[in-house]
Amino acid sequence: MKYCFLVALIFLMSCKNDLKKSQLVKPTSETQKPVEKTIYYLIRHAEKDITDSTNHDPHLTGQGIVRAKNWANFFGDKSIDMVYSTEYTRTIQTVIPTLDQTKLELKFYNPDRLYSKEFLEETQGKIVLIVGHQSSVPNLVNKLLNEQRYNKIEADVYNNLYTVVFESDGSIHGKLEKKDFPDQT
């Protein structure tokens, strides 16, 4: 009788150990694939001509054209893979010098519809530049970060650089920098 009890006890303990081991080791099919590191740079268009208040699609000012060239120089060593812009003249003019340097194709977007599962899949593992507007840029940054961190950009501010990084471990972080270029007045 003692022998049967001892065998049963050993059997139960070995089952318990196997159960713990199986709980610690997850099957490969349940493990999530790592996310590829993805970097988003977001900027507002450069200075626009505001002399005609009825013009809803103004061109850049001379100062705006200088800023657009400065952005191109800044992004020149960032290995940009994709460039997005709204279809407004001021955003397109802001990104043209960068496109000239990188030889990339411009992708147009609607600020209300850019953030989507398809967008995140298409840009995964890439370095992406997005040029937008004083409301759309912080809104998109907030969506990428999944938090309400940034407000509308002030009307006279054109030097904000937002960077959002999706790390391969799944973490996401973002920052806002002011990029003041030496020849920008």
Residue 28 confidence (pLDDT) = 34
Residue with tokens 């610690």: 24
Order of strands across the sheet that contains 82-85: 106-108, 82-85, 127-132, 38-44, 160-166, 172-178
Residue 81 confidence (pLDDT) = 98
Distance CA 63, CA 28 (A): 56
For the chain, 185 residues long, give each residue's pLDDT as a single digit of tens. Answer: 444 444 344 444 444 444 333 333 333 333 344 579 999 999 999 999 999 999 999 999 999 999 999 999 999 999 999 999 999 999 999 999 999 999 999 999 999 999 999 999 999 999 999 999 999 999 999 999 999 999 999 999 999 999 999 999 999 999 999 999 987 75
Residue 35 confidence (pLDDT) = 77
Question: What is the CB neighbour count within 10 angstroms for residue 74?
Answer: 15
Residue 171 confidence (pLDDT) = 93
Distance CA 34, CA 117 (A): 16
Residue 144 confidence (pLDDT) = 96
Residue 185 confidence (pLDDT) = 54
Residue-by-residue DSSP string for 101-116: HH-PPEEE--TTT--S
Bridge partners (DSSP) of residue 154 are none
170 phi-psi bin (left φ>0, alpha ψ -120 to 50, beta other): left
Angle between helices 62-75 and 89-102 (to 10 degrees): 40
